[in-house]
Amino acid sequence: MITIDARKCTQDGLCVLACPVNIIKMDGGFPEEVDGAADRCIRCGHCVAVCPTGALDNALTPAGEYLPVPDKRPDAEAMENLLVSRRSARSFRKKPVEREQLERLLETARCAPTASNAQKLSWTMIQDPQRLDRVRELSLEWMGTNPARSHYMEAARQGRDVILRDATALAVVHGPARSFWTAIDSTLALTYMELLAATMGLGTCWAGLVTYASTVVPELLPVLGVPEGSKVGGAIMLGHPRLKHRLIPPRDAARVTWL
């Protein structure tokens, strides 16, 4: 699985340090894989990515498929400004989001970290107005049986879309129903998506009501494109926001215990 170009290798051991599953060793010579390495490798690619001379290749993640790290990346101040100024959009214009923009969001979200690099998440991007209406309908039926959601039902009776806020697209991420990590991996992927969306002038809002309804309304799962054996890890509304936030609201101070 692991091959080394002896002409390039400086025997610095960086690949050994980078491997999270300890399947590369150095016994006074060049790096080499341990017994059973191919079965234990999680294909994270760190061994290839950290080699400064390009001496190492991994058959499970070939070096020729890697991309260079871009020089243009936000500094700490730019990143902080984005994080503290991002707001959830709860009112969208009727203008649909372009297919190319949605594809760009998905392409970036798939790069979010997953536990042990399992990469078992799948996506449904819903734009069809009739399917979005069905999502609203089934979610509202569930809320109608829950007294704690009566304020939502009252707003719905007044003609407000309390489920999707008139968003023109809904991104749904799902994964193995039995996996503990589906919810966490999905949260990371959706966070990647919403942060990039903010830089593209798009509005986002976590569709918590849809996510919750998917756990108690079986009929909702096929509407969301979730196959049998999978569960919804989360969902985000996407669209062009009607409102622009010009101030950053205050938040509670961080509750921290330093140990």
Residues 14-25: tens digit of each pLDDT: 999 999 999 999
Tell which residue, 180, 155, 150, has the closest CA to residue 165: 155
In the chain, which residues fall in CATH 3.30.70.20?
A: 2-65
Percent of the chain with pLDDT over 70: 100
Residue matched to tokens 């990371």: 188
Exposed/middle/buried for residue 128 (C-beta within 10 Å: 0-12, 13-18, 19+):
exposed
Mean pLDDT over 127-147 rounds to: 93
* pLDDT at position 169: 98
Which of 115-124, 152-161, 221-230, 246-255 is predicted least confidently?
152-161
Residue matched to tokens 């039926």: 141
Assigned CATH for 87-239: 3.40.109.10
In DSSP notation, 149-211 reads GHHHHHHHHTT--TTTTT-SEEEEEEEETT-TTHHHHHHHHHHHHHHHHHHTT-EEEE-HHHH
Count of alpha carbons within 13 angstroms of residue 87, beta-carbon side: 15
Would you state the structure tokens that stand for residue 81, as one six-digit string? 């400004």
For the cut 90, the answer to whether the pLDDT of residue 48 exceeds it is: yes
In the chain, which residues fall in CATH 3.40.109.10?
A: 87-239
Distance of CA 172 to the CA centre of its chain: 10
Would you state the structure tokens that stand for residue 111, as one six-digit string? 């790069």
Please, what is the angle between helix 76-85 and helix 182-199, to 10°?
100
190-205 pLDDT tens trace? 999 999 999 999 999 9
Tell which residue, 185, 166, 169, has the closest CA to residue 105: 169
Q: Angle at Cα 151 formed by Cα 145 and Cα 152, nearest 5°?
A: 70
C-alpha–C-alpha distance, residues 53 and 56, integer Å: 8
* pLDDT at position 59: 97
182 in Cβ contact with 233 (< 8 Å): yes
Which of 77-91, 147-161, 179-193 is predicted least confidently?
147-161
Mean pLDDT over 157-177 rounds to: 96
Topology of 2-65 in CATH?
Alpha-Beta Plaits (3.30.70)
Percent of the chain with pLDDT over 90: 93
* pLDDT at position 144: 83
* pLDDT at position 145: 83
C-alpha–C-alpha distance, residues 9 and 13, integer Å: 9
Name the average pLDDT for the chain: 96
C-alpha–C-alpha distance, residues 202 and 194, integer Å: 9
